[in-house]
Structure 1
Amino acid sequence: MNPTFTSMHLLFIVLRPFSWLYGLILKLRHRLYDTGFWKSESGPVTTIVIGNLELGGTGKTPMTDKILHILKGHLKVALLSRGYGRKTKGYRDVVTESPPAEVGDEPLLIKRMHPDVPVAVCEDRLRGLEQLAENHVLDLVVLDDAFQHRPLHSGFNILLTPYDRPFWDNALVPEGRLRDVKERARYAHAIVVTKCPAQLSAQEMESMRESAAWYSTAPVHFARIDYGALRSITHPEEPKDWPQSVVLFSGIADDSLLHDYVASKSDVLEVKKFSDHHQYTPHELRMLMEICANFAGRDPVLVTTAKDAVKIRGLLGDTGDPQVEILELPIEVSFMTEGLEEMIRAYARTNKRNS
């Protein structure tokens, strides 16, 4: 018998009762909202919610970017985020020069990608919507990571789940990585399986649709991650060629696709993984540069994600002139099935308010 399998199996058995208890608490909470004992409100503006059932790593940020691209040419749209990882509380407008520690890395990245779109953070989504509606004339607000925010009732919920660990094959924490019960999928208006391989077959798509159908009647769509051209974090308008050697670092929930892609382009000499939404320090940036310096004769450069780059830029002045070039790798979402984009547009056109 494989000792690793045995120890993992025993660990799951030990953790399962805690997952059951957590599930009972979640179901009670949802029941109180579903019966109206606790109130859910729609707010003053039409909303689209992007969310998941997992702890992270489903690709909410690139999906948010994609949906803003779909909508902003036709509607007055804004983004409201919780601002996970920030050190502040309450409502804050996000500007392109906001410190990431004050607004969160993901909202700041979205603001820099869409400087014409109002972006705000507030842990109380209803209050945030009210403030946005006071400050701007809006047709619709996109909310990221608000699927579990039951005080808000949204007319359109997009549920993301990753290809390599879809929610129907997962379990609640601590046994698995789900933070909410699978039955919540029935409140989704569309399910998107993210981070799919480019050559995903029609047969596998159909198999995944059949699995999702046990929990939801929502249409299931599929999306992949496409990587853009490397660019300098100090001069992002300048594309860069792939160097021969790199040191890769990131603070994202799941770096497996990133690592595989970078390894297909360059020789990855070392990988430094930080926690999701990690706030970097000047000391850590110097440490990363020292790692590169240790590979004498290889001259590696540092490569990271666009989400991490927004936090690194502000540190460059604290570390002196960077001795190692730092490159960021942008990503975008591409839909692999038809219908979702038009579904989003149709909902937005039909339900826009405050215009």
Structure 2
Amino acid sequence: MNFLRYLLFPFSVLYGCIMSVRNFLYRTNVFQSRSYPISIISVGNLNTGGTGKSPMIELLVKTLKDKHQIATLSRGYKRTTEGFLEVQPYHLSSEVGDEPLQFKINFPEITVAVDANRQRGISELLKKHPQLDLILLDDAFQHRKVKPNLSILLTTYGDLYTKDFMLPTGNLREFQTGASRADVIIVTKCPGNLAVEEQSRIKKQLKPGVTQKLLFSTILYSEFVKNATEHEKLAGFDDFTLVTGIANPKPLVNHLKSLDKNFEHIQFADHHEFSEADLKMLQKKPKLLTTQKDYVRLKSKLESGKLFYIPIETQILNEPGFLEKYLEDRLF
């Protein structure tokens, strides 16, 4: 597979050049980016998948929801519906996408919507909810038709964009120079004890601009596992099957191993569509643990008493109080 990717190197160069021309046309206003009379934050990445966008969106919601009227807008990846749709807790993940449904379940008080056309989605949100003063665009760093007030770029500690190359040889959606559009760069999924010296090393590698802020974040795993009706301590939860359909399950696997958990791991691709054969196989397992993103897709298809998920959250390591103050000063 890696050898095949290298054979496709000329296509990577071609794709990168196309994206560079596209960005140039937006930068010179040949292609127009639309602004809106409301604060908009774009969260995205240069790499495909697995950088922790959903936990970062949830961190932003937690940080700002008590003072502001917030909506999230996603495309609703792999959903069966089309156009603009406001997400409700009763929706199926197949109708709205797993991540938007997760946002609505975790924060029922905010507005959550999906629309692949971001301009239309924003217009619909403003029409239906004129009280909104902030919209969070999920996975929108390359969506240049909307001009955000603030762009947050995520890159994973174990897979920095400076170590990657363009699709299809690598996993970059555009050349590394695209990072210059970001106001904030956040290195995600860092070890909780990331040393200052290591932070400095990464900063030298990423080379953020003078006006760009570089932050480091880590994932915090709950001490409990849960489902719709049950709540158990992770310490006493053992002899289970871990089921993942996310881009990078390694941090979760490592966390469970660090706790000396006894489990088998069944790994599917990111946003995997569980087949009848998959479900029959999983149904035979006595106890299942998964991520919340996978849980919202599996909960209606498996016996509820055997399926649990482990909640997670993102924590900023280097300047814990910086993000809230920065966002308030920049946007409101």
Deviation for aligned residue 1:208 = 1.1
Residues 208 and 214, structure 2, Cα contact 8 Å, conserved in 1: no
Deviation for aligned residue 1:16 = 2.2
**Unaligned residue ranges in structure 2 (runs of 5+):** none
Residues 243 and 301, structure 1, Cα contact 8 Å, conserved in 2: no
Alignment CA distance shift 1:306-1:12 (3 Å) = closer
Residues 50 and 157, structure 1, Cα contact 8 Å, conserved in 2: yes
Report the secondary structure of 2:8's partner residue.
helix
Alignment CA distance shift 1:308-1:266 (3 Å) = farther
Greater radius of gyration (CA): 1
Residues 246 and 268, structure 1, Cα contact 8 Å, conserved in 2: yes
Distance 2:164 2:295 in 1: 31
Look up the match of 2:247: 253
For the aligned residues, what is the CA RMSD?
Answer: 2.0
Q: How many residues align?
A: 329
Alignment CA distance shift 1:53-1:249 (3 Å) = same
Of the structure 1 ranges 52-61 and 42-51, higher mean CA displacement relative to structure 2 is found in: 42-51
Residues 242 and 266, structure 1, Cα contact 8 Å, conserved in 2: no
Residues 75 and 139, structure 1, Cα contact 8 Å, conserved in 2: yes
After superposition, residues 5-84 of structure 1 pair within 5 angstroms as: 13-84=6-77
TM-score (norm 2): 0.93
Look up the match of 1:120: 113
Residues 252 and 275, structure 1, Cα contact 8 Å, conserved in 2: yes
Look up the match of 2:95: 102
Distance 2:102 2:230 in 1: 13
Distance 2:101 2:233 in 1: 21
Distance 2:49 2:135 in 1: 22
Distance 1:81 1:238 in 2: 32
TM-score (norm 1): 0.87
Look up the match of 1:312: 298
Of the structure 1 ranges 187-196 and 27-36, higher mean CA displacement relative to structure 2 is found in: 27-36
Distance 1:114 1:24 in 2: 40
After superposition, residues 1-355 of structure 1 pair within 5 angstroms as: 13-136=6-129, 137-213=131-207, 217-235=211-229, 239=233, 241-290=235-284, 292=285, 301-316=287-302, 321=303, 325-338=306-319, 339-349=322-332
Deviation for aligned residue 1:55 = 0.4
Distance 1:17 1:217 in 2: 34
Alignment CA distance shift 1:133-1:11 (3 Å) = same
Residues 23 and 181, structure 1, Cα contact 8 Å, conserved in 2: yes
